[in-house]
Amino acid sequence: MDEPADALPQTVKPKLHPALKLALEFGPLVLFFLVNARFGVFVGTGAFMAAFFVAFAVSYALTRHIPLMALISAGIVVVFGGLTLILQDETFIKVKPTIIYLLFASVLAGGLLAGKPLLSVVFDSVFNLTGTGWRKLTMRWAAFFFAMALINEIIWRTQSTEFWLGFKAFAVIPLTFVFAALQYPLLMRYDAATQVPAQDQAS
């Protein structure tokens, strides 16, 4: 049987191998930590900026797609990394995570206020949640990013650069994974596939 005339072939976006994606996302940070330990924060910042844009270019070359948040992150890296190197003031590179966390939190919170839980757009192909589930999950992640922004501010303002680097390199990622794992009960509770329609409950 011939396909309908209006059936158009679906364009499948190429996806990165999970290991490569992980390397591209966290490689620049690891390089920053290693170079900083040997040559100091300013050389480390330069190495981070170079590695970030190499990873950015490789990701685009393989997927031909630039996520909006990656583009915004690139702009923040240019501004705050550049100010760090030009003014020789490490404050700017320390503030960068705060700006990114607040940006993520504000975008998620703004989406909720507009009645559009944005995580439902980002993770629609991964999770199948009810409207209530998406709203609660979005609220939790917005609160998490606000908390991480506050924690980053407290640490860089009260602790040494070495302590801040250690926290950024060895605590941020585990904290994020633990928080994500703690959302599993919510994902199961509001899985749309397991919800009983209201008319079935009434019968």
Beta bridge mates, 129: 191
Global pTM reads 0.67
Q: Give 32-70 pLDDT, tens digit per residue.
A: 777 776 777 788 778 888 888 888 788 778 877 766 566
Q: Give 91-120 pLDDT, tens digit per residue.
A: 888 888 898 899 889 988 988 888 877 777
Torsion of the alpha carbons at 105, 109, 111 and 113, rounded to the nearest 10: -170
Q: How far is it, in rounded angstroms, from Cα 117 to Cα 95?
A: 27
Per-residue b or e along 166-195, where b marks 16 or more CB atoms closer than 10 Å to that residue's CB: ebbbeebeeeeeeeeeeeeeebeebeeeeb
- Please check whether residue 65 lies inside any domain of the structure: yes
Q: Give 139-156 pLDDT, tens digit per residue.
A: 999 999 999 999 999 999
Which range of residues forms the domain containing residue 115?
90-193
Other beta carbons within 10 Å of 40: 12
- Please check whether residue 74 lies inside any domain of the structure: yes
Tell whether 164 and 81 lie within a shared domain: no
Beta bridge mates, 191: 129
Tell whether 63 and 112 lie within a shared domain: no
Structural domain count of the chain: 2
- Please check whether residue 201 lies inside any domain of the structure: no
